[in-house]
Structure formats: C-alpha cells, structure tokens
Amino acid sequence: MAPSGPGSSARRRCRRVLYWIPVVFISLLLGWSYYAYAIQLCIVSMENTGEQVVCLMAYHLLFAMFVWSYWKTIFTLPMNPSKEFHLSYSEKELLEREPRGEAHQEVLRRAAKDLPIYTRTMSGAIRYCDRCQLIKPDRCHHCSVCDKCILKMDHHCPWVNNCVGFSNYKFFLLFLAYSLLYCLFIAATDLQYFIKFWTNGLPDTQAKFHIMFLFFAAAMFSVSLSSLFGYHCWLVSKNKSTLEAFRSPVFRHGTDKNGFSLGFSKNMRQVFGDEKKYWLLPIFSSLGDGCSFPTCLVNQDPEQPSTPAGLNSTAKNPENHQFPAKPLRESQSHLLTDSQSWMESSTNAGKCKTDLISNPNLDF
C-alpha cells in the first residue's frame, strides 16, 4: 500500500466533513419543524387550550423518541470482526507467498476450520477481506466508505453518516418508525389549518406560511418513509439484510435466499431481543454477537438430484452434512432450544423442506 501524503490526508478530512452534510440538513429541518409546529401552529394558531395541550404533549413524545433513535443510529459505532477472524502473522506470510488459487484457499481453509462460518463466495471459496486481512464472518461485508469490515452489514446510510449493521440496525428501524409517526402526526394535526390557509381562514401572519410548508414537508416525507420502513419490516420478517436481498448468501450447499430465516417470531427476536419491554426503546437488545448466526439450511447434498426423496434421505442422515464443527456461539444457541421447529409451519407450506441443524458438537 502506498504511503499516504499530506494531500491524501487533506482529501480524507474534506470527505469526512462532506459526509456530515445530510445529517446537518436533517437536523436543521428537524429544528425548523419544531419551531413551526410547537410555536407557530400550537401556540400561535390554535385557539383551543385543550387541543394545544394534547398536541404539544404527543408531539414532544414523538419528537424525543425520534431524536433519541436518530442519535443512537448516528453515534453507535459499527461492530467489527473479533480477533479470532484475523489471520496470524505466519498465516499472512503464507498467503503472501502462495499465488491465488488452490494453495491460497488451502491456507484460508486451515485458518477457518474452527471458525463458526457457513457462507462462501460465489465460487465456493472462503470469504476473505484483503483490505482488513481477515476471514469474513457470516453476513459481514467490507464498507468502502468506512474502510472496515462491518458485522451483519445492511448498508451505509448517508443520512446518518454511518454504517447500518448488527450494532445499530434496531436503532435504524426505530428511527424510521418514529420519524414516520412524527411526520404522520404533524400532517394529521396540521391538515385543518392547511385547509384554512387556502380558504383564507387564517390571519395574515407569518404563521400561515410555516403551516403550509410544514404540511407539505410532513406529507412528502411520510410517503417516502412509509415505503422505506415497510421494506425494512419485510427484511426483518425474512431475516435478510439489504445486501442479502439483492444478492442471496451462498452456503456450502449453494445459494439460499432464506438460509438465515428461522420463522417470523424468531427473526423478530434476533433483531429486537427476547424482552419486549425494550422493543420500542433505542436500547441495544439484539441477540448474539454479530459473528455467528443460526441458519435454516436446505439439507440437500449438492451432488444429489433436487427431489423430495433426496431431501428426505439427507435429512435422515445428518452425518452427511458438511457443517462447521462449532457453528454457533452460546449467545445464539438458545434460539434453537424451543420445541418449535426452526421454520413455522405456515412458512413451510409450498416450499422445499427444511430441518433443524443437528450437530453433536454443539455445546448448549
């Protein structure tokens, strides 16, 4: 790697400043909306005291939750792979000596034999990051903006100037939810005054223009946020990230778009946690450590034909499954202790059969 000079360092600093522009824009817009709604609409334009009190109380609750979740999404640092996924000095030397090919992969296979990984590259090779010099855990990807490998990376969001991944995905979902509720509440309570604006029912003050633009902004953001929030709710229900929705993960047996899905309820718990009292609060409660995840793999030998009989024969002989020796950490294994199957029966209908991964080496 070429040494970085003063010029490249200055460019990096300039980029860091530019990356904050969307966050500053959202913050200024939020500050103006507070002034327009709380001051110009509630205090100046509303004549009914009861309506003022109710609207201000509900507004400040939504405003506080919006700001709290937005703050947590921005300033929660993305989690990176632990040290065990980094290559040792001797392994790095071996990789540098070996040309790209089977010998290169053999070094990576030896390094990854005790790691809890299922996924592979499209060619079936061990997923390795040359930039970070580590073996990528499942669902981990390298972010070109952050220049780091991010655990369970969903995407890099310019509106929060941060990578959305394992450590802050719950906060990002709550940010979308509360920002949508915030906009819907403003649009609903501002509607009658917006109509009065066009019927000349409002006094000719500056408040009328704040009321008009406030409604337009709230309605416009409500439409965009509802589609984005709905999309991420679908992702959570399927236990997918944005990256996995565009490119399905590849396992040892092949590509499986639902490889990490455990059924709706367990998918929800993996993001929001077991304790429902924390679900609506921007407090970290996601399950696991971000390095290993329970999987619901199609138990099929890739050498066998894709038939129901082939699936059944494979399911009866779990010893044929080429799974890692230690596929799950203790922090994730309790998802598998329920008497229920990994996939809910309604999810199984019309799909190929799936079985709970049975591994005698798991330490529950």
**What's the pLDDT tens digit per position in 245-265?**
999 999 988 899 999 999 999
Burial 238-274 (b: 16+ CB within 10 A, else e): bbbbeebeeeebbbebeebebbbbbbbebbbbbbbbe
Is residue 157 part of the annotated active site? The answer reads: yes
Residue 5's pLDDT is 57
Alpha helices in 113-168 (DSSP H): none
What is the predicted pLDDT for the residue at 96? Answer: 84
pLDDT at position 297:
65
Q: How many CB atoms lie within 10 A of CB 359?
A: 16
Q: Flag residues of the chain having pLDDT under 70.
A: 1-7, 297-364
Q: What pLDDT score does 306 carry?
A: 37
CA distances from residue 196 to 86, 187, 193, 201, 278 in whole angstroms, order as listed: 64, 14, 5, 4, 41
- The residue annotated as part of the active site, out of 140, 157, 183, 296, is 157
At 342 the pLDDT is 39
Q: Is the separation of the CB atoms in 171 and 162 below 8 Å?
A: no
Q: Could you tell me the CA-to-CA distances from 20 to 10, 23, 76 in Å, in that order?
A: 16, 5, 15
Domain boundaries, the chain: 14-79+161-251, 83-159
For residue range 113-149, list pLDDT tens digits in order.
899 999 999 999 999 999 999 999 999 999 999 999 9
CA distances for 11 relative to 3, 6, 182, 208, angstroms: 14, 9, 37, 44
pLDDT of residue 1: 44
164 DSSP β-pair partners: 155
This prediction's pTM? 0.80
pLDDT of residue 8: 72
Report the pLDDT value the prediction gives residue 351, as an integer from 0 to 100.
42
Tokens in use for 154?
Answer: 């969903």
CA of 295: how far to CAs of 49, 207, 264, 335, 345, in Å? 56, 56, 14, 11, 17
Q: Give every CB contact of residue 243 below 8 A, 6+ residues apart in sequence.
A: 141, 153, 154, 155
First to last CA, the chain: 44
